[in-house]
């Protein structure tokens, strides 16, 4: 039993293997939220990307570097664009290791005069690593790539 906030809760132990699908999907979702939820502020962008890069290998860093070199983040700031992401689903194959995943998401780019919706599909692999304060799930995303990122029909003007 565990005492939490004055309440007694029953606790039971389980192996990590039982929780892999739940933790892996949450790890992928958390990474994408950090990487793609941005506001037009350089400090916010750096903080969000910094958190995301603890959860992934150099493939995510390479995508970040490419976007930075192309001026993507500078354009977000200069145009006062906020970017949000909603994870629609994460497919996971735990029958092979490293674990393959595919993430389906919706993005919104919000400007003062319009909102653009985009669909996003990424994929990669998850490898077990030590848990830490920066990486509580103990996974590392590897070979991460965007396989689809396009405007959705019917965007607002």
Which residue bears the tokens 């194959």? Answer: 93
- Tokens representing residue 121 in the block: 């599909």
Instruction: Say what the pLDDT of residue 15 is.
Output: 56
Angle formed at CA 77 by CA 50 and CA 28, multiple of 5 degrees: 35
The tens digit of pLDDT for each residue in 23-69 reads: 999 999 999 999 999 999 999 999 999 999 999 999 999 999 999 99
Q: Does position 157 have pLDDT exceeding 60, yes or no?
A: no
| Model pTM score | 0.87
CA distance 135 to 50: 12
Kindly report which listed range (19-28, 101-110, 117-126, 147-156) carries the lowest average pLDDT score.
Answer: 147-156
Whether 28 contacts 37, CB under 8 Å: no
Dihedral sign computed on CA atoms, order 57, 58, 59, 60: positive
Which residue bears the tokens 């909102």? Answer: 115
142 φ, ψ to 5°?
A: -125, 155
Please, which pLDDT band fits residue 19 given cuts at 50, 70 and 90? confident
How long is the chain? 157
CA distance 13 to 28: 24
């Amino acid at each position: 039993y565990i005492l939490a906030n004055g309440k007694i809760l029953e606790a039971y132990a389980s192996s990590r293997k039982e929780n892999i699908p739940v933790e892996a999907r949450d790890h992928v979702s958390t990474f994408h939220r950090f990487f793609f939820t941005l506001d037009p502020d350089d400090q916010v962008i750096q903080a969000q990307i910094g958190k995301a890069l603890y959860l992934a290998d150099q493939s995510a860093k390479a995508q970040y570097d490419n976007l930075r070199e192309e001026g993507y983040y500078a354009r977000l700031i200069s145009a006062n664009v906020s970017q949000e992401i909603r994870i629609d689903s994460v497919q996971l194959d735990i029958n092979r290791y490293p674990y393959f995943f595919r993430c389906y998401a919706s993005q919104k780019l919000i400007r003062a005069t319009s909102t653009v919706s985009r669909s996003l599909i990424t994929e990669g692999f998850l490898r077990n690593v030590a848990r830490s304060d920066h990486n509580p799930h103990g996974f590392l995303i590897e070979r991460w790539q965007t396989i689809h990122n396009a405007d959705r029909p019917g965007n607002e003007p």
